[in-house]
């Protein structure tokens, strides 16, 4: 083939077909992996939430105590499981109790 514009265009169209084939193959792999993960998660029950959780701010400093499973404040990676004693200790150290799930009442700190 020469370096004429028509042959360059043919080469670019060939490259496009190859890349589209690669893209379709990759999308197939992604779909298969999504299906595998969906089947796996359907078989495994979710882990139960801890009884008590500590919420961290973006600077990774403790901010609030929650009843396990509370959906208010913080994402999963900003939450850490606490024992009952650790939750009581955190509240005794003046850490804020979540105003929605009220761990202070659940723990018997307030009536």
Domain ranges of the chain: 1-46, 52-106
Query: Which residue's structure tokens are 């990774």?
Result: 60
Mean pLDDT of the chain: 89
CA angle 30, 34, 40 (to 5 degrees): 145
- Residues 6 or more apart whose CB falls under 8 angstroms from that of 86 comprise 52, 54
Check if the beta carbon of residue 80 is closer than 8 Å to that of residue 49. Answer: no
C-alpha 55/C-alpha 58 separation (Å) is: 10
* pTM summary value: 0.58
Q: How does residue 29 score in pLDDT terms, banded at 50, 70 and 90?
A: very high
pLDDT tens per residue across span 59-93: 889 999 999 989 887 777 788 999 999 999 999 99
Distance CA 53, CA 86 (A): 10
């Amino acid at each position: 083939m020469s370096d004429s514009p028509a042959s360059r265009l043919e080469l670019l169209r060939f490259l496009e077909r190859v890349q589209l084939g690669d893209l379709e193959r990759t999308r197939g792999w992604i779909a298969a992996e999504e299906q595998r993960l969906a089947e796996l998660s359907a078989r495994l029950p979710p882990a139960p939430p801890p009884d008590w959780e500590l919420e961290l701010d973006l600077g990774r400093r403790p901010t609030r105590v929650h009843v396990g499973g509370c959906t208010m404040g913080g994402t999963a990676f900003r939450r850490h499981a606490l024992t009952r004693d650790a939750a009581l200790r955190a509240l005794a150290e003046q850490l804020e109790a979540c105003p929605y799930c009220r761990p202070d009442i659940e723990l018997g700190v307030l009536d």
